[in-house]
Chains A and B, each alone.
Chain A
Amino acid sequence: MSTTVPVVERVLSANDAVAAEVRAQLDARGIFCLNLMAGPGAGKTSLIERTVAALKDEIPIGMINGDTSAAAFDAERSQRAGAASVHINTGGKCHLEAAMVRDALALLPLEKIRLLLIENVGNLVCPMSWKLGAHANVLISSVPEGDDKPYKYPKMYAGVDVLVLNKIDLLPYVDFDRAKFLRGVEALNPGLRSFELSCRTGEGLEAWIAWLKQIAGASR
């Protein structure tokens, strides 16, 4: 004898509930939070270094770095740049989860922070499914990855709130069809707020920094 029990529950509903807790905690303190996602090597840490360097005198910044290993290189780079940072070792998991962020918040001086940058694990597939409670999900793509990425990772491009195209200084040297890339982005996420920049040369960074000043300033 057996019975069928209807469940109809989203597998990630428990994570979503924790993400909502994280968001409530951030909102209560007036902290604006970005979830930075990208494939490995797109320049997440470089963008963070540039961002912290440009903003640290005006906006106190906190950092959460997710990595699949205990090697805290990225957190150290953020720390050196001037941000209070916590390293999360995901123990092999290919994405951050809301509970990891909740636990990391307890280790940060939240009363001093106005902008929180979460560096997700380098991966274009999984992180998008796991909400963290951030106010904006940011995808950092880069020129050498190729112009076909929106077509190959449509879920990521469809789901983000902000797009950064990094390494534009390499455009003259690689076969990257910018129009094709942007067509794919527009197809999946019309009107997406986008920044084209180079962390190496600094080109295009002003617009990104100006946007952050505007949103982090307005959140309190």
Chain B
Amino acid sequence: MHELAITQAMLDIVLKHARGARVRKVSVTVGEWTGYVGDSIELFWRELARGTPAEDAQLEFRLEPATLRCRTCSAVFPVDGSMLACPRCGALGGEPAGGRDCMVESIEIEGGESP
């Protein structure tokens, strides 16, 4: 269920920017911190977008890994599997760095005119 609401929000953004044009492709960045799964977004999209100009859109996901920036040596390291310890200096923890957001980056619409 986690992705139902986020998919609706994504669809709202896409339809707003498409201004009625048919949407061929949607490029999305999914930050790993969000915990959203592309396959689930895809599943909900097929339901929610039915009957809209974005119903046949191909969804393209780019997963951005969740990272922390070490407070001691500033190294940026992936959260996954680290037990929160910096692999360079061993200090524990850090500020959340990459992978915090879920963004609609761009859409590809039918027609040659740039809106």
Binding site for B on A (CB under 8 A): 1-15, 92-95, 97, 125-126, 129-130, 150-151, 154-155, 158-159, 183-184, 186-188, 190
Near A by CB (< 8 A), chain B positions 89-106 give 92-94, 96, 100-106
* In contact, A97 and B84 (Cβ under 8 angstroms): no
Q: Which residues from chain B contact A1 at a C-beta distance below 8 Å?
A: 110-112
Question: Contacts A3-B111, A92-B1, A93-B4 known; A190 to B93 CB distance under 8 Å?
Answer: yes
**Contact between chains at B5 and A97 (CB < 8 Å):** yes
Residue of B nearest to A153 (CB): B35
Q: Which of B10, B96, B103, B110 contacts A8 (CB 8 A)?
A: B103
Name 8 A/B residue pairs within 8 A (Cβ), A-sorted.
A2-B110, A3-B111, A10-B102, A11-B6, A11-B28, A15-B9, A155-B34, A186-B92
Q: Measuring CB to CB, which residues of chain B are less than 8 angstroms from any residue of chain A?
A: 1-2, 4-6, 9-10, 12-14, 17-18, 24, 28, 33-35, 66, 68, 71, 79, 83-84, 92-94, 96, 100-115
- Kindly list chain B residues whose C-beta atoms are within 8 Å of the C-beta of A4: 106-108
Rounded to whole Å, the gap between the CB of A11 and the closest CB of chain B is: 4
Considering only CB atoms, which chain A residue lies closest to B34 in the complex? A129
Choice from B9, B79, B112 contacting A11 with Cβ under 8 Å: B9
Chain B contact residues: over half helix, strand or loop, or mixed? mixed
Q: Once the chains are docked, how many angstroms separate the CA of A155 from the CA of B111?
A: 41
- B66–A3 CB distance below 8 A: no
A126 touches B35 (CB 8 A): yes
Partner among B2, B35, B110 whose Cβ is within 8 Å of the Cβ of A155? B35
Point out the residues of chain B lying under 8 angstroms from A155, CB to CB. 33-35, 66, 96, 100
Other than the given A2-B111, A7-B107, 6 more pairs (CB < 8 A) read A2-B108, A8-B104, A10-B101, A12-B102, A186-B92, A187-B93
Closest A residue to B110 using CB positions: A2
B42–chain A nearest beta-carbon distance, Å: 15
A97 to B5, CA, bound (A): 9
Tell me if B104 and A93 are in contact (CB < 8 A): no
User: Which residues in B have their C-beta under 8 angstroms from that of A186?
Assistant: 92-93
Question: How many Å lie between the Cα of A8 and that of B17 in the bound state?
Answer: 11
When the two chains form their complex, are residues B1 and A5 in contact, meaning their CB atoms are under 8 A apart?
Answer: no
Distance (whole angstroms) from the CB of A13 to the closest CB of chain B: 8
Complex: chain B residue closest to A150, CB-CB = B84
* Docked CA distance A3–B5 (Å): 28
Q: How far is the CB of B104 from chain A (nearest CB, A)?
A: 5
